Amino acid sequence: MKRNIVIAFLALFAVTMMAEEVYVSPETLAKRERRKNLTVKEWNTHDKTHTRWLDRVKVYDEQGRIIEEIEYATYGQKWRVTYEYTDAVGGKVAKEVEYNDKNKPARIRKYEYNANGTKAKQYNYLPNGKLESVKVFEYVFEK
């Protein structure tokens, strides 16, 4: 019994290690196709005064992946996040940089992925580049 479990685990591990590219579903590709080079601006309008203000902006790249997100308040930018990806097609987010209201880096996150495309680790850095913490992702499936 134990031997069969070990063999099954090794077979699954070998299959996931052989996967060189991350699978991207047709639905995801269709969504990306519609978002190529798109900028989405979200506006709020006050009910009584009818004043309008910019709430959020999302910018997508030529592959339809989000590359920047900015949230605004009445006084200006609250925060901004930029995204960098591992490759051009099925790439996962490799790095996120979060900026504060003064547009200065506040936090940097870098990611590592397992062979099957799930997140393995998240490295959190301070703006000066010093490693602050590491988050490890563990996937447990219940029977």
Q: Cα 143 to chain center, whole Å? A: 29
Report DSSP letters for 75-100, one per residue.
TEEEEEEEEEESSSSSPPEEEEEEE-
H helices of the chain, in order, are: 2-18, 26-35
Quick one: tokens of 122?
């998240």
pLDDT digits (tens, 9 = 90+) for 1-36: 444 443 344 344 333 333 444 567 788 778 878 888
**DSSP symbol at 117:** S
Per-residue confidence at 133, pLDDT binned at 50, 70, 90? very high
Higher pLDDT, 125 or 92: 125
Q: Give, in degrees to the nearest 5, the angle at Cα 90 between 104 and 21.
A: 130
Determine whether 33 is exposed, middle or buried from the number of CB atoms within 10 Å of its CB (0-12, 13-18, 19+). exposed
Integer Cα distance of 133 and 109 in angstroms:
10
pLDDT for 90 equals: 65
pLDDT digits (tens, 9 = 90+) for 61-107: 998 899 999 999 988 999 999 999 987 666 789 999 999 999 999 99
**CB-CB contact of 92 with 109 (8 Å):** no
> Domain 2-136 classified CATH 2.40.128?
yes
